[in-house]
Chain A
Amino acid sequence: MLDATTYNRIFWQINVIPTTKTESKLLKSNYHFNPFAGVLDVEVKHTIVPRFSIAEIVTEIETKQSIAIEFLGKHGRGKTTHLIWLQQQLPQYPIFQLGKTANYTEVLQHVSEVVFVDGIHHLSFKERVQLFKTKRVVVYTTHFTRKLACLFAQKKQKVIRFKGIDTHTLQQIITNRLALAQTDFREPTAHFSESELQKLINRYGDNYRGIINNLYENYQ
């Protein structure tokens, strides 16, 4: 069953909503909450602008091959968001957030042969090798490549790099967030100008979270 927010979004997508240009000044009365605040897990699918083809990854996971899928990039590039979103497409497999809500034993002892792991740096080299050997598919986020651990575990590895940014993608992410928080869907969605986006990119590079945090502060 689709929730109400999904319906808002669908409605929003099928109707051409007029846009209005902004110089980063958003009227608080037009939004239920700060549009640049952290979203709920259930809202990730509404705000994400996917970096890869979901069908391709799902095929790799669902075919019987043994593989480690690495989401590689610096902090704030969207690795965890993509991991949560991917797991939501495959809810039959568990997700573990190491160092926050889960520990190594839980991951290893879970019956699922496919696991999603956020924060694999919390594991020692030995534990990573053991994890790669035990589970058929491990989809994980990391700041540094875990190629060596994969080699030791004789595991095929696929690396998805989270690097780079362009104004079009940033515009899409911002528009999605504004639409999610907007109180009245008939109102025109605020639109950030190309120069505003470029300024943000010049300052934060491809650090999406840095940009969103900056927008959060400005709004707040």
Chain B
Amino acid sequence: MSSSTLQAEVCIDDVQKDTDISGYVHIVTSEDILMDEITAKIYFEARGRMRGFTKDIATIAVINAPIIIKAGEENILPFSCPLDEYVESYEGQNVSFTYNCEVKMHVDEDDFKKLGLNFMASVKSFLTSDKRLRARTQFEVIDRQHTYRVKEGTYDFGLKLNYVLPIAVGIIMSMLFIAFTQDNTIWYVVLGIIVIAAVTYGIHFYLEDTLGKLTMTLENVDETHFCCRVEKTRKFKLKEQFVYYEIIEEVEDRRGTKTTTYRECQYASLRKEMKNFSKNAEFTFEYPTRLDYATLKADTVEIYWRMCLTGVSSLGLPLKYTATFKVKKDRPIPVEEGQKALKSNENDTKLLNK
């Protein structure tokens, strides 16, 4: 039985946006081996608390004609392919995006016999169905040359439903029914649900109407900051007002008969208190240091940013307003330009306050 060995390893160089994916196959054998074909397949893979999916990026011919892999030598076979549209690598709570490079090597039939049936025990790669050897590696695609940029513009805030009062009403109603009624029919449950729904939406629309419209304007300041100007109507009055933004990872799990959505906050900025909020207030927020949070929608996975404004109403109800906005990655803003934008914002604010 032959004792020939073959060791293959795939390496990917660092990948940057607007450049190629480049890498090489490193092969070491104990005997000369004729390799008929070597191909590298690059693909994107998404795994998480959902049905996994893959997307092929490219299949590259590493060699164009059969070559002899010299025994005992370090055989380095480079390859590359362009990287166009892509989703960045990401490691979240409920989903991970990775890139893989799978290299398949077709050893010439006569030389394949040299390796013997026992060779599997001494190779780092696997065997495929058509007697090809397989080696795989995982790599990261993260754009480190570009920084976050918010999509500038004006956004409307929306009021989140508040369940505190309806739940309190529901509990009181249930206690009253238990105390004063003898027959516990299903109609009381139905009535309870209707009342809770009516109270929830009644309060919601009442608050929306009395507090009026709330908007924000976003502008980029520099490569690490953006500016948020919140504007309100005269009617808007809340106590203990705070503003912050959060990055949400949303994964729709369609594995089963029923669809479930997992929503996790991946990042929350510092909470900034809104003091003397007469008509508008301006805040500068820092972008997160992690670079894989840009707005994304890929199949059943979504990453989005939202500005949150919290406060307490005159009735003592905690309220939360949110506005979703887009953030992409782009070339950094020159420092001078950013300072100009900041100064212009300051002037605008002064004028509005006057």
A37 pairs with B128, CB closer than 8 A: no
B96 pairs with A100, CB closer than 8 A: no
Across-interface contacts of A2 in B (CB, < 8 A) = 128-129
Give Cα A208 to B327, complex, Å: 37
Give Cα A32 to B10, complex, Å: 14
Report the nearest B residue to A212, measured CB to CB.
B49
Chain B interface main SS type: strand
B53 pairs with A119, CB closer than 8 A: no
Q: How far is the CB of B13 from chain A (nearest CB, A)?
A: 20
Residue of B50, B93, B129 with most partner-chain A CB within 10 A: B129
A55 at the B interface (CB under 8 A): no
Hey, what's the 0/1 contact readout for B94-111 against A, CB within 8 Å counting as 1? 001010101000000000
Give Cα A38 to B262, complex, Å: 14
In residues 129-149 of chain A, which contact B (Cβ within 8 Å)? Answer: 141-143
Give Cα A1 to B130, complex, Å: 8
B318 at the A interface (CB under 8 A): no
B49 pairs with A7, CB closer than 8 A: no
User: Which listed segment binds A: B230-238, B253-261, B273-281?
Assistant: B253-261
Report the nearest A residue to B50, measured CB to CB.
A38
B130 pairs with A38, CB closer than 8 A: no
B48 at the A interface (CB under 8 A): yes
Q: How far is the CB of B14 from chain A (nearest CB, A)?
A: 20
A80 at the B interface (CB under 8 A): yes
Give Cα A100 to B128, complex, Å: 34
A34 pairs with B257, CB closer than 8 A: no
Across-interface contacts of A33 in B (CB, < 8 A) = 45, 47, 96, 98
Across-interface contacts of B51 in A (CB, < 8 A) = 38-41
B47 pairs with A34, CB closer than 8 A: yes
The one of A1, A100, A184, A216 in contact with B49, judged by C-beta atoms closer than 8 angstroms, is A216
Give Cα A33 to B207, complex, Å: 47
B149 at the A interface (CB under 8 A): no
The one of B49, B121, B258 in contact with A38, judged by C-beta atoms closer than 8 angstroms, is B49
| A38 with B129, Cβ < 8 A, contacts A100-B254, A121-B257 known | no
Report the nearest A residue to B252, measured CB to CB.
A100
B52 at the A interface (CB under 8 A): yes
Give Cα A185 to B130, complex, Å: 19
Q: How far is the CB of B305 from chain A (nearest CB, A)?
A: 22
Give Cα A8 to B49, complex, Å: 24
B96 pairs with A75, CB closer than 8 A: no
Across-interface contacts of B45 in A (CB, < 8 A) = 33
Give Cα A80 to B257, complex, Å: 6
| A8 with B126, Cβ < 8 A, contacts A33-B45, A37-B47, A40-B52 known | yes
Q: How far is the CB of B132 from chain A (nearest CB, A)?
A: 8
| A75 with B47, Cβ < 8 A, contacts A3-B129, A11-B127, A38-B52 known | no
Report the nearest A residue to B130, measured CB to CB.
A1
Across-interface contacts of A1 in B (CB, < 8 A) = 129-130
B145 at the A interface (CB under 8 A): no
Give Cα A26 to B104, complex, Å: 29
Q: How far is the CB of B8 from chain A (nearest CB, A)?
A: 14
Binding site for B on A (CB under 8 A): 1-4, 6-8, 11, 32-34, 37-41, 43, 75-76, 79-81, 97, 99-100, 118-119, 121, 141-143, 184-186, 209, 213, 216, 220
User: Would you list 11 pairs from A and B whose C-beta atoms are within 8 A, ordered by A residue?
Assistant: A1-B130, A2-B129, A11-B120, A11-B126, A37-B49, A38-B50, A40-B52, A80-B257, A185-B126, A186-B121, A216-B49
Top 8 A-B residue pairs of the complex, sorted by shortest distance between their CB atoms: A37-B47, A2-B129, A4-B128, A40-B52, A33-B47, A38-B51, A141-B257, A38-B52
15 more contacts with CB within 8 A, not counting A32-B138, A216-B49, A220-B93, are A3-B128, A4-B126, A4-B128, A7-B127, A11-B127, A34-B96, A38-B47, A38-B50, A38-B51, A80-B255, A80-B256, A97-B254, A100-B254, A119-B257, A143-B257
